[in-house]
Structure formats: structure tokens, C-alpha cells
């Protein structure tokens, strides 16, 4: 029973990271119908920025964190401007390929700049555990869970209570109609990319104490975040986080209770099953076909 709870907590913590990456997918997909295959690599880059600020320049953890988030938000806008905006409105396949190319590029450049070793960021949560009876929970895992809850609440408030959030929801429904209503769609899309890169950075920094940061971490985790986003219905913000947590828990349980090898494929088997039985996901909207 104790093992089960331990596995559950570490699964949820890992799942929150998947959820945060998936959240980035969903934000961009909702606003522009672009699936950003480089989302995991944005996370990796955010982690490296934070490592540079905190580990190499010796800044305070929180200042370094904020600096990394700000830098990545700018980078997200830049990537949107250079790669995505010129091809908005073209078939989805081209856009997917462009983001795959972007991911390739970011991975290699990060490898050239920071090398291919594993890096670790010292955080206030790195050491220390919370003991409840005989249950031992590490702070770094709890911090991921707490941060995910806070981020989700903030994003929820942003999308439902602010004018900019409403504008984003409008342009996600129909870009052309939103444009006719006077919404500056281009700027909105740019801000969406900034937010999604910032969320990815949070994921990267929170992840750093759990798994180390290296140049391929984005590919590995980004591909795990796809099942999370699909499970949640690719377009639903709470769905992404719930999907992420489910995938994390499934992976962690499969690693503990099933023979070796199942851990890595379990998320994909679940994904295929979901796609077969309920392609719109757990929280997805069922859209009628129009001709």
C-alpha cells in the first residue's frame, strides 16, 4: 500500500510535467490550430536558460527562474514570427514539418552550446522530504504538483476573466471572424506562443531536479506529452493536465507492477486505445462534420 502511494505521488509529479508540456501544445493548438512538435524542445531550452542563469551566473533561484521564463517568452514570440506566421493558413502537414525542423534545430544548437552532458539545477526543493507517518515524499516532486496547480489556476483566470484571454478564445474559434471583429489576431497569436514557451520553461525548470536537463530531454518528454494532450482531447486546458497526470500515473504504475519494457510503451498503448474508442478524448468537444 505504501509502495502504491509512493508510486502514485511520483507518477502524479511526472504527470504534471507532461501536463505542463501538453498545456503548451493545447494553448498553441487552440489559438492557431498549429501542433507544435518543438514544444518539448522549448522546455529543454528553458531548462538550459535557467541552468545558465542559476548554475553558471550564480543568480538567486527565483530571479533566475523569472529570467528564464522572460527570455523564453521572447524566444517563443521570435519563433512564431520567423517560422509559424509565414505558413499560417497552409495545410497542417507543412506546419507540423516546420515545427519538427525547428525542434531538430533547437536540439542540435543546444547540444553545440551546452554540450551533451546531463545538467542539474540546484533548487530550494532539491533536498528535503516530507514525512507523513512512514510515507516519505520528496519536496521536488511536491513542488512540481503545487506549481502545476498554481499555473493552471492562473491560466484559467486569464482565459476566462481578462479581455486578452477572451480575444484568444475568439481567435481560436475562427481567426477570420475574430479579425473582422477588430481583434489583432497576429499579436494575439504571438502572445499565445510567448505564454506557451513560458509554460514550457516552468516545466523545464521544475523537472530539472527530478530528471536532469540534457539536449534530448525535450524529444523524450515531448513525445510523452502527446498522449497526454490526446487523452485530454487536444484543445481542452484542464484536459491536458488531467491527461498528463493519467499518463504519468500509468507510466509509473506500469514500471512498478508490470515486467520490464512496459513502462515505455504503456502510454502509447493507452493512447492508441483512446484514439480507437474515443477519438475526441476525455474532455474534447464533439464537432459535427461540415461540408
Residue 104 is a binding residue for other proteins (CB under 8 A):
yes
Touching other proteins, residues 160-179 (CB under 8 A): 173-177, 179
Q: Is 105 in the site for other proteins (CB under 8 A)?
A: yes
- β-partners of residue 137 are 130
Q: Compute the least distance from the CB of residue 230 to other proteins, in Å.
A: 6
Backbone angles phi, psi at 192, to 5 degrees: -60, -45
Cell matching residue 250: 500509468
Instruction: Identify residues 113-152 at the interface with other proteins (CB under 8 A).
Output: 116
Under the binding rule (CB under 8 A), the answer on residue 268 touching other proteins is yes
Residue closer to other proteins (CB basis): 129 or 272: 272
- State the residue for C-alpha cell 521570435: 78
Report the helix count and the strand count for the chain, using DSSP H and E. 11, 2
Return the C-alpha cell found at 11. Answer: 507518477
Binding flags for other proteins, 26-65, as an x/- string (CB under 8 A): ---x---x-x------------------------------
Q: Does 100 participate in binding other proteins (rule CB under 8 A)?
A: yes
**Residue 200 binds other proteins (CB under 8 A):** no
The residue assigned the cell 474559434 is 173
Total Cβ atoms within 10 A of residue 289: 4
Residue 264 within binding range of other proteins, rule CB under 8 A: yes
184 part of the interface to other proteins, by CB under 8 A: no
How far is CA 201 from its chain centroid?
A: 8
Amino acid at each position: 500500500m505504501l509502495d502504491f502511494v509512493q508510486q502514485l505521488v511520483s507518477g502524479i509529479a511526472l504527470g504534471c510535467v507532461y501536463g505542463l508540456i501538453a498545456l503548451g501544445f493545447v494553448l498553441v493548438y487552440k489559438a492557431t490550430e498549429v501542433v507544435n512538435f518543438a514544444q518539448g524542445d522549448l522546455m529543454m531550452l528553458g531548462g538550459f536558460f535557467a541552468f545558465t542563469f542559476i548554475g553558471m551566473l550564480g543568480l538567486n533561484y527565483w530571479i533566475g527562474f523569472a529570467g528564464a521564463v522572460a527570455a523564453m517568452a521572447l524566444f517563443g514570440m521570435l519563433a512564431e514570427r520567423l517560422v509559424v506566421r509565414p505558413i499560417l493558413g497552409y495545410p497542417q502537414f507543412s506546419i507540423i514539418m516546420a515545427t519538427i525542423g525547428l525542434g531538430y534545430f533547437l536540439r542540435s544548437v543546444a547540444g553545440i552550446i551546452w554540450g551533451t552532458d546531463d545538467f542539474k539545477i540546484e533548487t530550494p526543493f532539491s533536498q528535503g522530504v516530507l514525512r507523513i507517518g512512514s510515507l516519505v515524499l520528496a519536496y521536488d516532486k511536491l513542488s512540481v504538483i503545487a506549481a502545476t496547480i498554481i499555473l493552471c489556476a492562473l491560466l484559467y483566470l486569464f482565459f476566462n476573466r481578462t479581455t486578452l484571454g477572451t480575444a484568444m478564445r475568439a481567435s481560436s474559434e475562427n481567426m477570420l471572424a475574430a479579425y473582422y471583429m477588430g481583434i489583432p489576431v497576429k499579436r494575439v497569436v504571438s502572445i499565445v506562443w510567448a505564454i506557451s514557451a513560458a509554460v514550457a520553461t516552468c516545466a523545464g525548470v521544475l523537472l530539472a531536479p527530478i530528471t536532469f536537463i540534457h539536449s534530448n530531454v525535450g524529444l523524450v518528454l515531448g513525445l510523452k506529452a502527446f498522449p497526454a494532450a490526446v487523452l485530454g482531447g487536444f484543445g481542452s486546458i484542464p484536459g491536458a493536465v488531467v491527461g498528463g497526470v493519467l499518463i504519468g500515473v500509468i507510466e509509473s504504475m506500469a514500471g512498478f507492477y508490470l515486467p520490464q519494457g512496459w513502462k515505455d510503451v504503456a502510454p502509447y498503448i493507452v493512447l492508441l486505445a483512446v484514439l480507437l474508442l474515443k477519438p475526441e478524448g476525455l474532455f474534447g468537444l464533439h464537432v459535427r462534420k461540415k461540408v
